[in-house]
Chain A
Amino acid sequence: MRGFRLAFIAMLVGVLAVPFAISGVSAQPDTSASDGSRAADMNPNCFVSGAIEGSGGYDPAASGGVYTVPIAGSASYDGGVIVDVPDEGREISGAVSVALPLGFSVGIRDWSDDDATGTTANGDVTWDLPDATPRGVPMTVSGFHNESGSPYCDGSISVKLEGGLLDSATGLVTAAITVITGVLTALTGIPSRP
């Protein structure tokens, strides 16, 4: 029984120590644009690329790495499809979303047109997120595009805001509550008298 008790204590201490052991590594911002790995299959007739200010270019077809973006900045995009367009246009649709656990997702942008004639889209986007926004959370951003009602291309990239747990007010509060609830949980291991 004593061995079981010690093993249990060791396990809880280990769980409590994980955040602090890792924070020293991940708190340093990763400014690399990608890790050079190749993304999931992309139809060669689709293309999308661009550049994130201060972080360099991105190209989902060339890299499946994590792109680290600043909390405020801008990015350019240039995407399109290589397809024969009939004179009367064709039906298109598509969407971009952020993946959540258990298969759920949150839509960012979608498009559809019953008689589209264009094949490209480009422009710039800017953002300025509040300082309290949690940093360092890797998010999978997925997109797809349908042509004439059929899937034509899809792809995804991983994005995270630069910084880590201790770089935002939200992160500091999260860390504090984690420590407090961890200690309180540990204290439930002290038996009470009947």
Chain B
Amino acid sequence: MTSEPTTQVRGRPVAGAILGFIFGIFLALSLLQMSVFALDSVMVVLLPIIMLIVGGVWGYFAPLRFLRS
């Protein structure tokens, strides 16, 4: 009985979280200048935190396996 070798892959949750956080900061700054929300909006603070979490989960699950040849 033989078992075929499996290729293990892993995600990058830390990189995803860090980049997501930076992305969230600049997304908030962009949306501010698009007048989407005001300078005193709590979204200015929340968006980087949300993107930190989204980036971390995104990097952890690493769903773009089809791009890995």
Q: Give the B-binding residues of A (Cβ under 8 A).
A: 4-5, 8-9, 11-12, 15, 18-19, 22-23, 26-27, 30, 66, 98-102, 134-140, 158, 160, 164-165, 168, 171, 174-175, 177-178, 181-182, 184-194
On whether the beta carbons of B8 and A193 are closer than 8 Å, the reply is yes
Give Cα A67 to B62, complex, Å. Answer: 45
Interface residues of B in 25-69 (CB under 8 A from A): 26-27, 29-42, 44-45, 51, 54-55, 57-59, 61-65, 67-68
Chain B residues closer than 8 Å to A100, beta-carbon distance: 39-40
Size bracket of the B interface = 35 or more
Give Cα A185 to B56, complex, Å. Answer: 9
Q: Give the A-binding residues of B (Cβ under 8 A).
A: 7-12, 15-16, 19-20, 22-23, 26-27, 29-42, 44-45, 51, 54-55, 57-59, 61-65, 67-68
On whether the beta carbons of A137 and B20 are closer than 8 Å, the reply is no
Given the interface pairs A8-B58, A189-B16, A193-B7, the reply to whether A18 lies near B31 with Cβ below 8 Å is yes
On whether the beta carbons of A137 and B7 are closer than 8 Å, the reply is no
Give Cα A23 to B34, complex, Å. Answer: 6
On whether the beta carbons of B22 and A181 are closer than 8 Å, the reply is yes
